[in-house]
Structure formats: C-alpha cells, structure tokens
Amino acid sequence: MVHQPYETLIHKSEALEADAVALALPEVCGDQALEASACCKRPRGRPRAYDPDLVLKKALHVFWQKGFAATSLDDLVEATGVNRPSLYAGFGDKEALYLKSMQSYRQRISEQLDTVLSCNGQGDSLSTIVGRYFDIMIGTYTGQSEHPLGCAFMCTALNEAPQHESILEMLQNTIEEFDVRFERFFTDAQTYGCLDAHHDPKVLAQMIGGITANLGVRARAGASADELRLIAKNTTRMLFG
C-alpha cells in the first residue's frame, strides 16, 4: 500500500490555518474592527520570538502525556510559551501542530537508528546490532519524564486514527517506513552471510515491529527500563542466537 507522505498530510491540516488565525483574533484584539492582516502581520524581516524545533518538542510532550483529544490549545500555549495567534501562524491548527511534532519525533528516532542499523558482515553480530536498536527505543520510552510515557505513536495516534484521516495515514506511513527499513537491514544481513537464507526479512521486520510496540505499551504501563531490556535481550537471543 502506498500512503501519502507526511508533507501532504501536513498541508491538508494547514488548509484551515488562515481561518484559525482569524478565529483567534478576538482573543487578542477584543472588539476592535481590525482585519487579520493588520492585527497579525509581522514586520518584514523580524525574526521569530521562539525556536520552532523547541516548540515542537514541547508540544510533543503535551500530546504524548495527555493524548491528542485531551490536549487543549491552552495546554499548548502554556507548555510552549507561544500565544495562540503565533501558534496558528507558525504551525497551523492543533491537528497540524500534532502532525508536525510527530514528524519531528520520527525524524529524531530515524537519525538515531541510522547510526546502528547497518550490517556489512565485518562488524558486530546481528543480535548485538538489534540489541542496540532496542536500547535506543527503551531509552526513548522510559527517559522522557518521571513517569514513563511509552511510545508516542502508540499512545497518541491509535486512539485518534479512526476519527482523523491524516493521523491514520501518518500511523500507516510510520509502520510502513519501519517495516521497509528493517526488511532492508535483514536483507543486507543475508547478503553478507549474517542471517540464514531460510529467514524471511519481511517477516522478521514485522516481528521486530510487534516487539517494539509491545515494549512501548509495557513502558506506559510502568515497566522499568531493566525489565524491558531483559525482554529485548531474550527476544534477540531467541531470534538470532
């Protein structure tokens, strides 16, 4: 199945951005009959008063902790320190901000995986490489706050996917990207003789995805990092020796 890229989903959510800004104006301008362009126009060349990447990280934490539906605009304003008109102007409505924050999260995870998911037959064993992958994910699931938040996708997107097409497509894209990445990794492992030929790279990729999701759920339910590492260690030992 071919899904639309993140950029397409974000552009869909941003289609209402101009209307959202206009709706936010009464809160800023009161009853004055000011046009949107007069109230919100930023002088040309004036730099933003906030760091977009930091805003996305702070917004992600709120969505991650409370879920998409339970997160209000007031929650996002308080967490990011950016007022409503600026949030709308910079990121779009709540759904667009959610999609962008999840895209940023996925990109950070992807960059971390790029550093470990490589097999050329001359380095570490397959079990060691997959073990390092699980270490990254467990650190992400348990290291965000005093109370582990689990997987951002599992804990926020699953509930909203049936009601929001853009979130459903984001979730599908993420799963597909994960499967393709690991299928390619296991195919390379077979090419270099690190994985027996009777293994199906696609099936192995799906199994790793299922285990990863399970670890995220367990983290959200309170499992410690040590408990999760033991599960990951036993899993890699059973799969790869």
CATH number, domain containing residue 43: 1.10.10.60
Question: Structure tokens of 241?
Answer: 């020796």
Q: What pTM, to 2 d.p., does this model score?
A: 0.75
Q: Is residue 110 part of a domain?
A: no
Does any domain span residue 179? yes
Tell me, what's the pLDDT at 143?
79
pLDDT digits (tens, 9 = 90+) for 159-190: 888 899 999 999 999 999 999 999 999 999 99
How far apart are alpha carbons 38 and 82 in whole angstroms?
A: 20
Same domain, 81 and 144: no
> What is the total count of domains within the chain?
2
Model pLDDT, residue 48: 64
The b-or-e profile of 185-195 (16+ CB within 10 A means b, else e) is: bbebbbeeebb
Do the domain assignments include residue 104? Answer: no
Determine, yes or no, domain membership for 105: no
Are 35 and 93 in the same domain? Answer: yes
Containing structural domain, residue 42: 6-97
In angstroms, the CA 217 to CA 142 distance is: 11
pLDDT at 80: 95
Instruction: Give yes or no: residues 142 and 47 share one domain.
Output: no
Taking only the tens place, the pLDDT of each residue in 81-140 is 999 999 999 999 999 999 999 999 999 999 988 888 888 777 788 999 999 999 999 999
pLDDT digits (tens, 9 = 90+) for 73-93: 999 999 999 999 999 999 999
Q: Are residues 132 and 50 in the same domain?
A: no
